[in-house]
Chain A
């Protein structure tokens, strides 16, 4: 059989077979590459995952949670969601460097815009406004309807001195709706102190004030206070705008109104609810509790503290926070149990016996309260404890001793509001009206936004034959609190004042 020469064309069948072979080889090579590449890629991403930190005194639940999230991410290091979940685990437990790395990786893996937003939150905590702004510019490009990102971008731009960019971002935030709530079955709802639009308006007003445009700030803030009347920081900044405009009277009234509103609470968007849900860190949970005003978000606050206590049952800070919250909410019996537990934990803290005394007083267990408060005073001779002892003595029918304690409280803090008020009331009950009036004068000077102070001073003035001045005080009370029925009724009486002699020996009605 003659050999086929080189130039001899291959038969179609042979060519087909060769092509198929080559394709098979290529397929095999590709398959090998694919099979080999995946672990190489995974290995590359795995090596970029943050290293689990060396834990020291963290709760076991926190360690387990973070270590588990780390295991999941290491098993699927190219999964944006797994890596982002690791970021959340670190973020919610105050490991910011690790969270930053994980979020960066998740974003690179093509994850949700939220991870870029969460990364911006990490930059924000660390005070890096430039990084915040850069990250959020990307976020708002991908999620232009997410109002919190615009508001935060405005804040960052303002801090960087880029006023126009700040204004543009605040304006956009103001025009967008609130984001939907983050679901957390079983948890009380976390209410925002004000909508994000109100915070954006606050930012706009700050930018206007910084540029010397107080009138524009006034307009923005008056509008926001019309729609969010309980937004304390807005009212306070409005007072500043009025001051800058030379409207001293309006400024004073705004300050008085602000004094009766909650102070500044940071805007809490749904991301923080998610972080709180994922947190096993008592410090983070207590931080979230503290950022919630007890009046607006008491149930949420209690829920956060109790979660912290579940994680660290002997955490003295959490015990103190919960006990104090319950005392403020007048749940004295529950608070008492916790303060006693706390006293075992921190026997050298002089404030705890005073708190126990306050709870006993609130429970009307005055004999015990007096004993405890006297013991507390041996180590904490401060205005509050003196006042509390005075209150107990007052309630147990010892006005002279109560007066003495109130005076001691005022020697330690001359503007102690409750001591001033109660001293005035005690003097009035004893018919010492001139001394009572003096105390209420001091109280009004120290606490001009207190309608009861004006009402009580008015009542004394009316009883001592000064109806015009009394009417002024009742009017001041009504200006602060238009629904104050005591002041309104008393104001009506100023039209028919008694003569001073008529009221001798008849103490006025006081709040």
Chain B
């Protein structure tokens, strides 16, 4: 569909610690969760530049204060989930070991056990892995405890794995696939057979989405759900969502990675699509928007009209062109046909995005993080809150 008018109802506000003098922030991931369960949503930040996981706590309402939770060499993703079943939120952290490409087995899976009172106990679930880009929790073998699905990106050598929880913070590693470039793993019952499957987004030269069908008891069968024969497609993010609200889990998928060669921008094939779940782990791809550098799409009802819209950031765009966009949203007309609306041209280099109603006004807000690893460096940000002023309709 043709582009729509720009949207001016998003009010950006930097939150957390500002960038230090001459710092070029490298925020790999932001996640929204009420970590201290005080009724106010907080923001968790994987800061690969400062090599730490931090917590931007909202307390009192509208006041955001950042504190360090853990030093981690290459934090790539964090999921807040009650891993040990004690009622509070623990943190599953994917540790690349090093942000930049490496074949060394420097990746690890770290769990920060919530001990209450803002204290966290560090457990290393697995280490010596190819660089780990994502870890998600779910009971994969049906034994009642929570296991872990792991995307070990590596570089030339990578893996998709699951870690079987054997209790007492010990895990047994099971390799599902030996392909480099695993970006995301999603744990969901895609085929609605009562067991949790794993979807893995594989980038590098493969550019594929695999579903590991769970036959129960942790027995998985790989199935190629979608693939591109463009080895430079730039797969960047995969997220689960029932976009068409038909009761099954679809996938929201962006291709916008341009980190592999210069110029890190201007790939006209980059954009956003969703994979419609057709049942039996088959999917149909639908392109919904073009955006160079597209990353981290999230589905949310931006305009409060009852259907799911999509917001996307751009990490790699032609930033010397003032018209290059860093944040857009795609308005759903209710039939999964989307109209693109510009939100922002700056800050640039936004690689991560989360959506949630942080101020409790009923309208979902956005949180973004900046990954400034290429020029220009004149419109930088660490973490930005985009307040939805509710004028979408």
| Nearest chain A CB to B370 CB, angstrom units | 15
A320 in contact (CB, < 8 A): yes
A350 / chain B contacts, CB cutoff of 8 Å = 22, 24
Are B104 and A447 within 8 A (Cβ)? Answer: yes
A residues within 8 A CB of B266?
94, 283
Determine if A184 is an interface residue (Cβ-Cβ < 8 Å).
no
Whether the Cβ atoms of A232 and B262 lie closer than 8 Å is no
Tally of contact residues, B, Cβ under 8 A: 47
A460 to B263 Cα, complex, angstroms: 45
Instruction: Say whether A57 contacts B320, CB under 8 Å.
Output: yes
A126 touches B378 (CB 8 A): no
Residues of A within 8 A of B360 (CB): none
A263 with B156: CB separation less than 8 A? yes
Residue of A nearest to B204 (CB): A264
Known: A125-B269, A129-B228. A349 touches B262 (CB 8 A): no
Is A316 among interface residues, defined by CB-CB distance under 8 A? yes
- A413 CB within 8 Å of chain B: yes
Complex partner residue of B377 from A155, A320, A349, CB under 8 angstroms: A349
CB distance from A259 to the nearest CB of B (A): 6
**What 0/1 pattern do residues 205 to 220 of A give for CB contact below 8 A with B?**
0000010000000000
Tell me the bound Cα distance from A214 to B239 in angstroms: 31
Of B136-144, B229-237, B305-313, the one touching chain A: B229-237
Within 8 A of A (CB), among B162-218: 175, 178, 204-205, 207-208
Complex CA distance for A210 and B206, rounded to whole angstroms: 13
Bound together, the chains give a CA A412 to CA B207 distance in angstroms of 32
Which residues in B have their C-beta under 8 angstroms from that of A125?
Answer: 230, 232, 269
* A290, B321: Cβ atoms closer than 8 Å: no
Please count how many residues in chain A sit with their CB below 8 Å of the partner chain's CB atoms.
Answer: 54
A238 to B224, CA, bound (A): 20
For B262, the closest partner residue in chain A by CB is A317
Minimum CB distance partner of B102 in chain A: A415
List chain B residues, Cβ under 8 A from A210: 222, 224
B229 lies within 8 A of A129 (CB): yes
A94 to B263, CA, bound (A): 14
Contact flag A159-B263 (CB < 8 Å), given A57-B318, A127-B255, A346-B376:
no
A95 to B269, CA, bound (A): 10
- Is A132's CB under 8 angstroms from B229's CB? yes
- Chain B proximity of A385: nearest CB distance (Å): 13
A258 CB-CB contact with B under 8 Å? yes
Q: Which residues of A lie under 8 Å from residue B285 when comparing CB positions?
A: 127
Q: Does A379 contact B (CB under 8 A)?
A: yes
Q: Which residue of A lies closest to B224 (CB)?
A: A161
Interface residues of A in 260-283 (CB under 8 A from B): 263-264, 266, 282-283
A379 near B268: Cβ-Cβ < 8 Å: no
Complex: chain A residue closest to B226, CB-CB: A159
Q: Cβ of A127 and Cβ of B157 under 8 Å apart?
A: no
Contacts of B269 on A, CB cut-off 8 Å?
A: 96, 125-127
Residues on B with C-beta less than 8 A from A132 are 229
- Inter-subunit contact A286/B230 (CB<8 Å): no
Query: Quick one: which of A127, A239, A287, A379 has the most chain B CB within 10 A?
Result: A127
Interface members, chain B 361-393 (any A CB < 8 Å): 375-378
| Nearest Cβ on chain A to B378's Cβ, whole angstroms | 7
* A152 at the B interface (CB under 8 A): yes
Give A96's nearest chain B residue, CB to CB.
B268
Q: Are A266 and B231 in contact (CB under 8 A)?
A: yes
Complex interface: chain B residues within 8 A of A96 (CB): 268-269
Residues of A near B232 (CB, < 8 A) are 125, 266, 287, 291
Tell me how far the C-beta of B8 lies from the nearest C-beta in chain A, rounded to whole angstroms: 23
In the complex, how many angstroms separate the beta carbon of A398 from the nearest chain B beta carbon? Answer: 28
Residue B227 at the chain A interface, CB threshold 8 Å: yes
Q: Which of B96-117 contact A (CB under 8 A)?
A: 97-98, 102-104, 106
Q: How far is the CA of A348 from the CA of B265 in the complex (A)?
A: 19
Q: Which chain B residues border A240 with CB–CB below 8 Å? A: 178
A283 adjacent to B263 (CB under 8 Å): yes
Contacts of B86 in A (CB 8 A): none
Task: Indicate whether A124 sits within 8 Å of B230 (C-beta atoms), given known contacts A258-B156, A348-B377.
Answer: yes
- Closest residue on chain A to residue B227 by CB atoms: A159
Query: Does B246 belong to the interface (CB within 8 Å)?
Result: no
Kindly list chain B residues whose C-beta atoms are within 8 Å of the C-beta of A232: 156
Interface membership of chain A positions 234-259, coded 1 if the CB is closer than 8 angstroms to chain B and 0 otherwise: 00100110010000000000010011
Which chain A residue has the least Cβ–Cβ distance from B221? Answer: A212
Are A124 and B103 in contact (CB-based, < 8 A)?
no
What CA separation (Å) do A94 and B318 show in the bound complex?
14
B231: A residues at CB distance < 8 A: 264, 266
Q: How far is the CA of A156 from the CA of B318 in the complex (A)?
A: 30
CB contacts (< 8 Å) of A126 on chain B: these are: 230, 269
Instruction: Please name all residues of chain B whose beta carbon is closer than 8 Å to the beta carbon of A233 when the two chains form the complex.
Output: 205
Bound-state CA distance A348–B380 (Å) is 12
**A126-B230, A264-B231, A286-B261 known; A56 and B103 CB under 8 Å?**
no
Known A-B contacts A158-B227, A159-B229, A287-B261; the reply to A348 vs B378 at CB < 8 A is yes
In whole angstroms, how far apart are the Cα atoms of A318 and B207 in the complex?
Answer: 26
- A317→B264 CA distance, assembly (Å): 8
Chain B's nearest CB lies how many Å from the CB of A384?
A: 9
**Partner of A290 from B97, B255, B260, B375 at Cβ < 8 Å:** B260
Known A-B contacts A57-B321, A287-B261, A349-B375; the reply to A124 vs B224 at CB < 8 A is: no
Q: Mark A81-115, 1 if CB is under 8 A from B, else 0.
A: 00000000000001110000000000000000000
A414: chain B residues at CB < 8 Å are 106
Q: How far does the Cβ of A253 sit from chain B's closest Cβ, in whole Å?
A: 14
Task: Determine if A490 is an interface residue (Cβ-Cβ < 8 Å).
Answer: no
For the complex formed, measure the closest distance between the CB of A472 and the CB atoms of chain B, giving whole angstroms. Answer: 21
Residue in A closest to B233 when the chains form the complex, CB atoms: A127
Chain B residues with CB under 8 A of A287 = 232, 261
**Residue ID in chain A nearest B24 by CB atoms:** A350
Q: Mark A345-369, 1 if CB is under 8 A from B, else 0.
A: 0101110000000000000000000
| A446 sits at the interface (CB 8 A) | yes
Pairwise interchain contact B156-A156, C-beta atoms closer than 8 A: no
Q: In this complex, what residue of B is CB-closest to A156?
A: B229
Give the Cβ gap from B184 to chain A, nearest Cβ, in Å: 17
Give the residue name and chain of the B residue nearest to A447 (CB).
B104
* A286, B205: Cβ atoms closer than 8 Å: no
Residues of B within 8 A of A418 (CB): none
Residues of B within 8 A of A (CB): 22, 24, 97-98, 102-104, 106, 155-157, 175, 178, 204-205, 207-208, 222-224, 226-233, 255, 260-266, 268-269, 285, 318, 320-321, 323, 375-378
Can you report 22 residue pairs joining A to B where beta carbons are below 8 Å apart? A94-B268, A124-B228, A125-B230, A126-B269, A127-B228, A127-B230, A129-B227, A129-B228, A132-B229, A156-B229, A159-B224, A233-B205, A240-B178, A259-B103, A266-B205, A283-B263, A286-B261, A287-B232, A317-B263, A346-B376, A348-B376, A415-B106
* Chain A residues near B (Cβ < 8 Å): 56-57, 94-96, 124-127, 129, 132, 152, 155-156, 158-161, 210, 232-233, 236, 239-240, 243, 255, 258-259, 263-264, 266, 282-283, 286-287, 289-291, 315-318, 320-321, 346, 348-350, 379, 413-415, 446-447
Known interface pairs A127-B233, A152-B229, A158-B227; 13 further A-B residue pairs with C-beta atoms within 8 A, sorted by A's residue number: A125-B232, A129-B227, A132-B229, A155-B229, A161-B224, A210-B224, A236-B157, A264-B205, A283-B265, A348-B376, A349-B375, A413-B98, A415-B98
